[in-house]
Chains A and B, each alone.
Chain A
């Protein structure tokens, strides 16, 4: 992807996000009635994010070192399970990846 493509993508996504946000405020004003549709829309981002993580997080290209990636992922998983906040999880996983790469 060139920088030109990237700019088109960024502006396109900005526009689409805005449309998704405006739609319910401007047009639909009643809640969605289908429990299956609501369940689908609610879980879709989590499912896509999970697919974005596995298996790419184990690739060497993520951090330049597959061991650093795996260690960072393990720390992120453990701290998230313990209920830690997002910025803390991101900082701890990054620190772990830096430490493993420096030591390995």
Chain B
């Protein structure tokens, strides 16, 4: 690999190639999420439209987790749950904003914002050279391509199989959630306490008698917000900047 000149901003091509591991990873995850959501009864368009309109595994996982057609209502609770899952984009965007070179105007920021994901921002802010607009677009193109190709193949492929044959795919969503939570809980005791509390609180809420029990999605949200608030109060983050 040739070392880029630190004085010249990196190109679109460079961003696209640097993001290849993200592209491949997103292909695999997108395939699994789309396959699992179609196995849960979602129409094929559901994962396809979601992957085209935003890059977000967590909120897509939360929506897929909901069987379609299911009981009426619950859309507002689910929308709030997605908001809670994705509030961290504000932190990612702030981290990226610190590193943007001057001269990227509002119009270009509209495009840059579309590509704010954990993996893309981690790559972009770790580069030893200036990552201008073309580089950011290269990273976005690469990750968008992988995510959408995976989603499209997973959704169409699964729709060709009989529902009973694909039912075990439902576990893939939960396995992905586990694979996101465990490394964070391993890295920090406060996070470990927080996720264990949230899981226990949700299990307790769901065990309440039917008359006083909140809707399933609402109890997940209550458990998650309650546990995070308690742990934030007990163990604030040492440095304020993301």
Contacts and interface: CB of A to CB of B under 8 A. Distances in A.
Bind each other: yes
Given A36-B236, A38-B240, A10 B49 contact: yes
Grouping DSSP codes into helix (H, G, I), strand (E, B) and loop, the B interface class, with mixed when no group exceeds half, is helix
Contacts, number: 342
A72 B106 contact: no
A3 B49 CA distance: 13
Contact of A6 (B46, B116, B176, B233): B46
B132 to A, nearest CB: 14
A81 interface: yes
A64 B62 CA distance: 19
B235 A64 contact: no
Is the contact region of chain A dominated by helix, strand, or loop, or is it mixed? helix
B130 interface: no
B89 A20 contact: yes
A97 B171 contact: yes
B10 interface: no
B93 interface: yes
A51 B85 CA distance: 12
Given A35-B239, A42-B237, A47 B56 contact: no
Given A37-B232, A51-B198, A21 B93 contact: yes
Given A39-B228, A43-B184, A94-B172, 4 more contacts: A1-B66, A20-B90, A64-B168, A97-B168
Interface of A: 1-3, 5-14, 16-18, 20-26, 28-57, 61-65, 68-69, 72-73, 75-77, 79-81, 83-87, 89-94, 96-98, 101
